[in-house]
Structure 1
Amino acid sequence: MGEFNFYDIYIPTLLLQAILAYVLYRVLGPVWQFLIASGWVILPSLFNLCVYIMLVMLVHGIFLFFGI
């Protein structure tokens, strides 16, 4: 993986990816809440966890594609 050096503080790349995925999750949250509220999702907490993991994988793939 790697890390970023920010004024002699090493920040893991996966931490930045997880934070970016969380921001995306919060921005797209109303879409998930609409699906949950309308009855399309049976287990909301498991669904939310899976969506977040997919977003982390998506952000990680983008980081790998661009070589960051």
Structure 2
Amino acid sequence: MGELNLYGVYIPVFLVQAILAYILLRIIALWTDTLIEKGWIALPGIFNLCLYAILLGLMHWIFSLVQ
């Protein structure tokens, strides 16, 4: 995918995607935590991991469309 040059420091684009996906995960977690407390989500660790993987794939797809 490439890298970004920020004042002479090369930053991988995948790192930017991962950080954006994590920020979205924390925002969505505000809503999903209530579902976990109510017992609607059985395995919260696996659920959060899968949700992060989906968001990371979404970020990668969006970045692919932009470039």
Give TM-score scaled by structure 1 length: 0.92
What is the percent sequence identity of the aligned residues? 49
Structure 1 residues without counterparts, runs of 5 or longer: none
- Moved >6 Å (runs of 4+): none
Structure 2 residues without counterparts, runs of 5 or longer: none
CA RMSD of aligned residues (A): 0.8
Per-residue CA shift, 1:2-46, capped at 9, x if unaligned? 000011110000000000001111111111101111111111101
The aligned length equals 67
Give TM-score scaled by structure 2 length: 0.93
> Distance between the aligned counterparts of 1:26 and 1:57, measured in 2?
16
